Amino acid sequence: MKKRRSKLAITVMLVAALSAATLSACRSSEEKQTSGENSEGKQVSFEPLGKFEPAIELKIGRTEDNYKYDPGQSIDKNLIYDLYEKELGVKLINEWVVPSDQYTAKSNVAISSGNIPDLFAVDGVQLRNLVEADMIEDLTEVYKNYVSEDTKKIVDEDGGYSIDAATVNGKLYAFPATTQGFWTSNVLWIRKDWLDKLGLQPPKTMDDVAHIASEFVKNNPDGVKGTYGLGVSKELQQLNGFFNGFHAYPFQWVKDGSGKTVYGGIQPEMKPALQKLADMYKAGLIDAEFGVKDSGKVVEALVSGKLGMLYGNFGLAFGTPSDLVANNPDADLRAYPMPSFDDQPAKAYVGPTANRFWVVRKGYEHPEVVMRFANFFTNEQKNARPNYSSNPETGTLYWQYTILQFNSPMMQVNEHRTVKAAMLAKEQPDEKKHTFNEKQYLQGIYDYFKDPKNTKKAEIQTGWMYQATFGTPDSGAEVLDYYFKNKLTVTTPLKVSSTPTMSQKMPTLTKMEEVLYTKIILGEAGIDEFDKFVADWKKQGGDEITKELNK
């Protein structure tokens, strides 16, 4: 019986796989010890992975979401906390623990009361409020003196965005928990077997996209009634890649030519993009009912053979789309760079690579503790110790107890590069060369290529997903690598997730945006209505938000 995988299950699998490489023996010998002078002119050594002796106490605020525990363990006492005390000399004390969906509210209460933990994570707005209230430590020198080479390499991968986001008035007040900004970047997924069947080449221009969509509708390659050319849903953010092909960035904030932060959804580049979609809808290349269907329906159409082209993130092949090859072993879904409508290449939008920041309470005696935890986490990623990741017999996920987790902003691209190099060299998975994830991806890909037609088997479906996502040629991560190598990205300029006016008025403005775009595509409003929308957007709070973001 085939094992079905939900998107949630796959996501959990990925996180667990990453975190299996997170908790291993601390090897301070791998990090360089530096030294300097303290305020009294005495020599002081800075150990990125040193142990506090005697042990120190550290009060933290954290989340807990129905975690499982082995007998005798809890969120307050568990093998991960014991490991921290053994390796770092830090005894963690949970000052407060709340579910993830209550964390922001709880931390706001703590900040308002002036009673904050020694170490906890905040968002960009809270960070600036804490700095203004003089409640947290300046970590500029702490970071400079204690950051390990490996940690710095990860943090610097985003070109300085995360450090800039953690900096206020020229001083670093937090360690940025970097994340994978490329999740927001789009690629164009196409059934290559359909292209081959119809004698078509992958698209280079937006006109090519429309032509391919037309050919898919006319020729119905899988012979399924109701085939349409381009996947579109009521969630128009799913079409960001299409808009990016017109150098337009709806639902996103970007920098204009002068360096000012502006809202992409009201820029003139939106008009030709919306007009193109309206023309494609009128020609029957888009599902006539897209306005009432969510993105899940688009995936269903892909799986059933009704759809051969859609925009999505690099990991779209994970989860439900594996049913595509289960139903049709000959289906060949591949990723391609976003085409452009003119002679300038399309640039993919990259979301924030840090939106959580670890801060230290003002007056805490050992502010360097934040870097000890960061360096510990980085070091453990290189040296997996599965016994500290999970218990397969009980289903207990120990990695959930860890604090100060962060990811390489380039993690997907780096993993792809390693996997691709191994595939081209015909190397087998090797724990000395490959991370836990990379070994898993490689083995799955090789298993798939050994028996590609046996797609009813769960392990073959998994191998197909790994190939479509991390392998070569034409995988999602390979397209991300193309964007990165050719500097075809537009990174968000935002350092905060919200402003006072944004929190009040942005939901209404976004709804206005969605309604207007949908009406234009459906032909219920002319393209000139866009200009009126822009004026209304500005008057109803947009100008005020823009002003706040440019302070």
* pLDDT confidence of residue 435: 86
pLDDT per position as a tens digit, 261-314: 999 999 999 999 999 999 999 999 999 999 999 999 999 999 999 999 999 999
How far is Cα 48 from Cα 32, in angstroms, rounded to an integer? 8
Phi and psi at residue 484, to the nearest 5°? -65, -50
* pLDDT confidence of residue 28: 37
3-state SS class at 309: strand
Q: What is the amino acid identity at position 529?
A: E
Does some domain include residue 539? yes
Q: Compute the radius of gyration of the chain from its Cα atoms.
A: 25
* pLDDT confidence of residue 46: 75
How far is Cα 410 from Cα 477, in angstroms, rounded to an integer? 10
- Residue corresponding to tokens 């510990």: 376
Interstrand relation of 261-263 and 43-46 (parallel, antiparallel or unpaired):
unpaired
- Residue corresponding to tokens 């993993």: 415
* pLDDT confidence of residue 252: 97
Phi and psi at residue 105, to the nearest 5°? -65, -45
Same domain? For 199 and 81 the reply is no
Same domain? For 213 and 334 the reply is yes
* pLDDT confidence of residue 20: 39
Does some domain include residue 33? no
Same domain? For 145 and 196 the reply is no
Query: Which residues, in sequence order, are bridge partners of residue 262?
Result: 254
Does some domain include residue 167? yes
Range list of H helices, 79-119: 79-88, 103-113
* pLDDT confidence of residue 111: 98
Phi and psi at residue 159, to the nearest 5°? 75, 20
Calculate the CA dihedral of residues 207, 211, 213, 217 and round it to 10 degrees.
160
Does some domain include residue 433? no
Q: Which stretch of DSSP H or E encloses residue 9?
A: helix 7-20
Length reported for the chain: 551
Same domain? For 332 and 362 the reply is no
Q: What is the DSSP string of 256-300?
A: -TTS-EEEGGGSTTHHHHHHHHHHHHHTT-B-TTGGG--HHHHHH
**CATH number of residue 378's parent domain:** 3.40.190.10
Same domain? For 243 and 335 the reply is yes
Same domain? For 102 and 209 the reply is no
Phi and psi at residue 188, to the nearest 5°? -105, 115
pLDDT beneath 70: ranges in the chain: 1-45, 384-386
How far is Cα 202 from Cα 221, in angstroms, rounded to an integer? 16
Q: At what angle do helices 529-537 and 500-522 cross, to 10 degrees?
A: 170
Domain boundary among 365, 384, 401: 401
> Which of 1, 396, 397, 350 minimizes the C-alpha distance to 181?
350
* Most distant CA pair in the chain, distance: 81
Same domain? For 155 and 212 the reply is no
pTM exceeds cut of 0.85? yes
Does some domain include residue 312? yes
> Which of 164, 488, 170, 179 minimizes the C-alpha distance to 354?
179
Does some domain include residue 475? no
- Residue corresponding to tokens 């965005």: 161
Same domain? For 150 and 247 the reply is no
Tokens of 379: 């070091």
Same domain? For 79 and 170 the reply is yes
> Which of 446, 452, 453 minimizes the C-alpha distance to 428?
446
User: ∠ CA 198-202-203 to the nearest 5 degrees?
Assistant: 115
Does some domain include residue 395? yes
Same domain? For 136 and 167 the reply is yes
Interstrand relation of 56-63 and 90-98 (parallel, antiparallel or unpaired):
parallel
* pLDDT confidence of residue 496: 86
Domain, as residue range, for 224: 186-342+490-550
Same domain? For 174 and 190 the reply is no
Q: What is the amino acid identity at position 373?
A: F
Does some domain include residue 541? yes
Number of domains making up the chain: 2
How far is Cα 428 from Cα 426, in angstroms, rounded to an integer? 7
Same domain? For 169 and 250 the reply is no
3-state SS class at 534: helix
How far from 466 is each of 22, 184, 224, CA to CA, in Å?
21, 19, 27
pLDDT per position as a tens digit, 109-120: 999 999 999 999
% helix, strand, coil for the chain, step of 5: 45, 15, 40
Domain boundary among 384, 401, 418: 401
Domain boundary among 401, 417, 440: 401
CB 406 within 8 A of CB 177: yes
* pLDDT confidence of residue 45: 56
3-state SS class at 254: strand
